Chains A and B, each alone.
Chain A
Amino acid sequence: MDVMPKWAEVVLVPLISLLLAALISALVILAIGEDPIAAVKLMVTGALGSTYGWGYTLYYATNFMFTGLAVAIAFHARLFNIGGEGQAMLGGLGVAIACLYIPWPHWSLALIGAAFMAGLLGAIWAAIPAWLQAKRGSHIVITTIMFNFIAAALLNYVLVNLMRPKGQMDPATARFPDAVHLPTLHDLLSPLGIAFSKAAPANVSLLVAVAACFGLWLLIWRSRLGYEIRAYGHSESAAKYAGISPVKITMIAMIISGALAGMMAINNVMGEAERLVLNSTEGAGFIGIAVALMGRSHPLGVFISAILFGFLYQGGAELALWTSIPRELIVVIQALVILFTGALDNMVRMPLEKVFLALRKRKAAGPAT
């Protein structure tokens, strides 16, 4: 039997890990001569204290949901897709092509078209390393990392030489037409009588991301394909015995993964920047790895940890703005969160298991004797 009840496994362990990470972060902030309590207050008010703050937190969270889901689905097939960054860049290209070259009558159709293009290009970008892994045995960690660099170079070339409007100095596409402007949370919520900040970038993509979380949950835990992906991820030898093709699963899992990473672009490129710039992804592809780790590759976990990382991102930006705590320290805090929730999982788990064991023994000892 499992030692811990499920709620402890799912809630208690990450919660304690988070508290430990927060504690050490506080010590670091103390060490550089700032007040950790004030810092926390600032982060919370900055990220969650206003609809403006929430708007940014949710905007970042949307990015992280897409990339986190992308990493999570690959994890289920025991594939470590580090290429979310590159796949999201290609997704940006897809969005730009869809938005600039097709005259969309309405934003909703544009969203579908752009999401399709973004997913397609992201999927293609993931499919090449997947094919190399499945057929040639090239390790996917290496190839996806390489493909991040290739994506950056490719985007640079495309933006500088092909898509940059004549006379414009910076390597970016032209602004997307107004018809493809996605409604922000302000636009969506004001008809319902809820006032939401006009300036915040969170937009309708958030709903797409949430839908993607649900869709992926359905895929992983309810569909035959998800069953095959999980089976392959747990045991390749058993998958072969059952007649599950390793090549097929590797390709499909990575294609879904790449498509999800690519679809992040409907948020940051279409929803926020409304044009494609260099480095539009801002590392969200990598944060996705941490999000998936912390969310234990479960779509609900990814959803929650994406919001947490959105909070850390936005709160961190506030800290950098209002205190002398440097922006880099936010990265330290994020790293601590990753370290404790991902890598040092057993450090919390083992003692906790002992506690539960002792409790159970005491309970068992009573009626038995």
Chain B
Amino acid sequence: MTNNTTQERQETAAPTAAPAIELKGISKAFGPVQANKDISIRVMPGTIHGIIGENGAGKSTLMSILYGFYKADKGEIWIDGKKTEIPDSQAAIAAGIGMVFQHFKLVENFTVLENIILGAEGGRMLRPSLAKARATLIELANDYGLNVDPDALVEDIGVGMQQRVEILKALYRQADILILDEPTGVLTPAEADQLFRILGRLRSEGKTIILITHKLREIMDITDTVSVMRRGEMTATVKTADTSPPELAELMVGRKVLLRVDKKPAIPGDVILDIQGLRVVDDNGVERLRGIDLQVRAGEIVGIAGVAGNGQSELLEVLGGYANGIGTILLKGQPLELAGKHADGQSRRAHGIAHVPEDRQREGLIMEFQAWENTAFGYHHDTDYRSGILMNNAAIRADTAEKMARFDVRPPNPRLAAKNFSGGNQQKIVLAREIERNPDLLLVGQPTRGVDIGAIEFIHQQIVALRDQGKAILLVSVELEEILALSDRIAVMFDGQIMGERAADQTDEKELGLLMAGITDTDHPHSIAEIEANLAHAHGDAHKEV
């Protein structure tokens, strides 16, 4: 059954050589925001087509239209040379489109097999469809090299394998066209390579793949053609072989961009931050940090690499004063309180710690507050911001206007609500607030997540400039490229522990990737199976929130 229909569809497609997907003049507006403006693309069958663009360029909206989540205001969708209406996701599935979301849509306490048939049970009784699904699943797994254990619980398997389950789900529903939205965001480099091998295999079997990403390297590595989106418009569609990363970056941003961070060698000074045997136990009694020892010196950037959810967030939270810890943290030799009344953000700021949190929308900013109110956030007890018992709003607004000018926040309007700024400009507001406090130690979490390339450049420059003033900087990022580009020293976290420290100029992605998978023996090659076994082991207890 499964294969029949798949083949039929391919046969009708092949002789005419019609594009697997053709979008003609798609437009979509949300209120005043034109998310997609007259977008047309053709994706030929059996190819991998990349769609690249900054956050908010309209990539996800376009794919949501293709998958039936939104209805386009204008335009047509053609699948295999036939005009197709896709009013909902059921219709998309029927048209042979499968989608793998950035955030997986799996039931954690179901087995792999149960997840795969969910919504496609095909009968009143579960047992026969499970048996049928098992047979199909084994067949699919063999055809495409997608090995998974059908009876494992989803919560027990690693992120890479969960992603494969998502792909299998789509294939089980006979998808010929696969859309993957930022698929490597949660993967270690080795897992990402494995994913790309699978995608290559799928392509050679005649599947059509659309890969949405903001990472230039992925586009260059795997795609056949690439479309660039900017501000809701498709600025170019080119053959990948005919382009280069700088050219793509320029097409994305609209101007030339410096892809590398310019920095001088660090001149580390005294130890500013000294963490000794730090442990964190969360509300459920799970040990999130299991004995962290780390030092950050004045005038250096220490990067914490690691797959999201391996304790980096907890480390920042304890240092920032809003989670309790056990152990010792010395700041310039003075112990910080790790629990109780004085373990809060206010006292940390008084100690000279500034913090650009990982999630600016949930922590760093109040989205409904205006920019000037956000500039005072955390520092609202400052004497400069005060007049008697009231707040000196005029002074805060004036200060905000100056900060906005220095950090090139656009639009430079202190009275605009934070939610109305783009991601990059929101981050600049947070950065301006924290950096201009002239802290001894700056904690930075995911400084460029959801930030456009143009702003990334600026943000990186600001962080390096602060280092050059002799400040200590602790950087947490899941983007390995960013860690490598910014850090002077790199510590890799895995499962609540630091697996190793490396000087940034004496390591590479491969070595860090192994450490990120918990393998400290980095001198010898390791198989992907070994890496995955290690990751799955860790996922059982600490690795949940991704």
Contacts and interface: CB of A to CB of B under 8 A. Distances in A.
Contacts of B454: none
Given A3-B32, A224-B386, A231-B377, A241 B345 contact: yes
Contacts of B344: 243, 245
Interface stretch (B17-25, B74-82, B387-395, B519-527): B387-395
A218 interface: yes
Residue among A223, A241, A353, A360 with the highest chain B CB neighbour number at 10 A: A241
Interface string A218-259: 100011100110110011011011111100000000000000
B347 A243 contact: yes
Contacts of B243: none
Given A3-B32, A235-B366, A357-B31, A223 B390 contact: yes
Contacts of B380: 224, 227-228, 242
Residue among B355, B386, B389 with the highest chain A CB neighbour number at 10 A: B389
A243 B345 contact: yes
A360 B32 CA distance: 10
A337 to B, nearest CB: 26
A207 B346 CA distance: 39
B369 interface: yes
Contact of B355 (A3, A241, A244, A360): A241
Contacts of A218: 390
**Dominant SS at the A interface?**
helix
Interface size range on B against A:
35 or more
A357 B363 contact: no
Interface in A251-306: none
A353 B31 contact: yes
Nearest to B417: A2
Given A227-B373, A241-B322, A3 B31 contact: yes
A234 B381 CA distance: 19
Contacts of A1: 32, 416, 420
B145 interface: no
B303 interface: no
Contacts of A357: 31-32
Nearest to A353: B31
B423 interface: no
Interface in B305-323: 320-322
Interface residues of A, number: 24
Given A231-B377, A235-B362, A243-B378, A222 B349 contact: no
B368 A234 contact: yes
A238 B346 contact: no
Contacts of A243: 321-322, 344-349, 378
A238 B366 contact: yes
Contacts of B368: 234
Contacts of A222: 390-391, 393
Contacts of B393: 222
Contacts of B96: none
A231 B369 contact: yes
A245 B357 CA distance: 18
B376 interface: yes
Interface string B336-371: 000000001111110000010101001111111100
Interface in B265-282: none
Interface string B21-39: 0000000000110000000
Contacts of B345: 240-244
A93 B395 CA distance: 45
Interface in A330-369: 353, 357, 360
Contacts of A2: 417, 420
Contact of B322 (A3, A240, A360): A240
A241 B348 CA distance: 10
Contacts of B359: 237
A241 B32 contact: no
Contact of B369 (A223, A224, A234, A244): A234
B364 to A, nearest CB: 7
B391 A223 contact: yes
Contacts of B322: 240-241, 243
Interface in B375-423: 376-378, 380-381, 386, 389-391, 393, 416-417, 420
A237 B363 contact: yes
Contacts of A230: 366, 369
Contacts of B348: 243
Contacts of B390: 218, 222-224
A250 to B, nearest CB: 15
B432 to A, nearest CB: 16
A357 B393 CA distance: 31
Contacts of A238: 362-366, 377
Nearest to B416: A1
A234 B367 contact: yes
Nearest to B359: A237
A234 B366 contact: yes
A54 to B, nearest CB: 35
B37 to A, nearest CB: 14
A214 to B, nearest CB: 13
A2 B416 CA distance: 9
A224 B391 contact: yes
B356 to A, nearest CB: 10
Nearest to A226: B391
A230 B369 CA distance: 9
Interface string A199-225: 000000000000000000010001110
A238 B386 CA distance: 21
Interface in A96-123: none
A241 B31 contact: no
Contact of A231 (B364, B366, B416): B366
Nearest to A223: B390
Q: What 7 A-B pairs come out closest when comparing CB atoms?
A: A243-B345, A243-B346, A242-B378, A241-B363, A243-B344, A240-B322, A234-B366
Interface of A: 1-3, 218, 222-224, 227-228, 230-231, 234-235, 237-238, 240-245, 353, 357, 360
19 contacts: A2-B417, A222-B390, A224-B389, A227-B380, A227-B391, A230-B369, A231-B369, A237-B359, A237-B363, A238-B365, A241-B364, A242-B345, A242-B346, A242-B380, A243-B321, A243-B322, A243-B348, A243-B349, A357-B32
